[in-house]
Amino acid sequence: MPAAIAIAAHPDDIEFGMAGTLLLLKDAGWETHYLNLSTGNCGSMVTNSATTARIRRQEAQAAAKILGAIWYPPFCDDLEIVYSVERVRWLASVIRDVNPRIILTHSPVDYMEDHTETCRLTVTAAFSKGMPNFQTTPRRSAVAGDVTLYHAMPHGLVTPLRQPVTPDLLVETSSVHGKKRAALAAHASQKEWLDATQGMDSYLAAMDELSARTAAMGRGLKLAEGWRRHLHLGFSAKEEDPLSEVLKKLCSKPKKNLR
């Protein structure tokens, strides 16, 4: 059975921009995996770090169960996702265990550094999966096979300098949006936090709006997630685009001249 893994920074990041595609891959017969690098320990105005991390771990596990994905524990805290060899070794171990054909992760440029660094770590860890001389923690043998990385849209659909970002590929997610929304709702502790700190006015409504705005980049779409495919060099054959192949009936290109 082919495998796909979503790798994000914080609990609820997968649900905001990746979960619809992950659900569709599962419906297509793929084994799906779910990993947030951070515990989410800073995501509260009320509980302390340890309590917040425990709550968010439980919420992430519940969300992964709703998505039908295999959950993996985080390995660092908020604002501590930094690019280092130690972090690469840990993430590479997970990737070798899963040996995914598809990896879904953050945009290379996003509104906060935890997202950007998660992307960097994911790219390097995926690049190393077939290198027997690169040791992982815990140790795992190198694995062969193509892997294709897809980058989600940045939060707000723009760069930190407010420049619009256009996806290569749009995936219609209307058929699984209800389950995606239920998975996001599992992160119940985040409503108060996001409303208080980021002015999101209900994180569920914010996700609905993001899906609709992404869909508006295409033609005839209701709700969608957008993706940009990473360069194939070092990862796969040039023509490999498994997301488009597997979900072809739900995939489309954005309208021209969006900018």
Mean pLDDT of 93-103: 98
Mean pLDDT of all residues in the chain?
94
Q: How far apart are CA 218 and CA 196, in angstroms?
A: 33
Mean pLDDT of 211-235: 97
Q: Is the dihedral of CA 187, 191, 195, 197 positive or negative?
A: negative
Quote the strand ranges of the chain, DSSP E. Answer: 3-8, 31-36, 70-72, 102-105, 148-152, 169-172, 224-229, 251-252
Residue 43 lies in a domain: yes
Which residues contact residue 24 at a Cβ distance below 8 angstroms, ignoring those fewer than 6 apart? Answer: 171, 173, 175, 176, 247, 250
Q: How far apart are CA 47 and CA 107, in angstroms?
A: 30
End-to-end CA distance of the chain: 40
- When pLDDT is cut at 50, 70 and 90, the band that residue 257 belongs to is low
Name the domain count of the chain.
Answer: 1
Range of the domain at 207: 3-252
Residue 258 lies in a domain: no
Residue 101 lies in a domain: yes
Q: How far apart are CA 169 and CA 246, in angstroms?
A: 13
Residue 228 lies in a domain: yes
What is the per-residue pLDDT across 19-63, written as a single tens digit (0 to 9) for each?
Answer: 999 999 999 999 999 999 999 999 888 899 999 999 999 999 999
Mean pLDDT of 90-96: 98
CATH number at residue 169: 3.40.50.10320
3-state helix, strand, coil in the chain (%, to 5): 40, 15, 45
How many Cβ atoms are within 10 Å of 64's Cβ, its own excluded?
26
Residue 257 lies in a domain: no
Q: What is the pTM of this model?
A: 0.95
Which residues contact residue 201 at a Cβ distance below 8 angstroms, ignoring those fewer than 6 apart? Answer: 195
